[in-house]
Amino acid sequence: MGSSRGDDKAVPIGTGKVTAVLKKRSVTIAGHRTSISLEDEFWSELVRIAAERQMSLNGLISKIDESRSTNLSSAIRLHVLADVKNPARGKAAEPAC
């Protein structure tokens, strides 16, 4: 099992009243370190999903990585969105990316 941590590299995006801050986070997928850029809100939901499925965070990210058809950060956002929209939330489901 690898480790994951949030880096202090935050990039504000957006204009107007709604502002999202992207944070680069280091994760390990299949034994290789890589970084992803995610907003705190998506990161928190990803942590929740991994806990509900009793998986490590890197394990969940690896599953998303295996089935993705876009860049990893976008695939994670899509996976989180699908989980949040799922009325049967909390049930283990395959990554939707």
Give pLDDT tens digits for 20-77: 789 999 999 989 999 999 999 999 999 999 999 999 999 999 999 999 999 999 999 9
Q: Which amino acid is at 67?
A: S
pTM for the full predicted model: 0.73
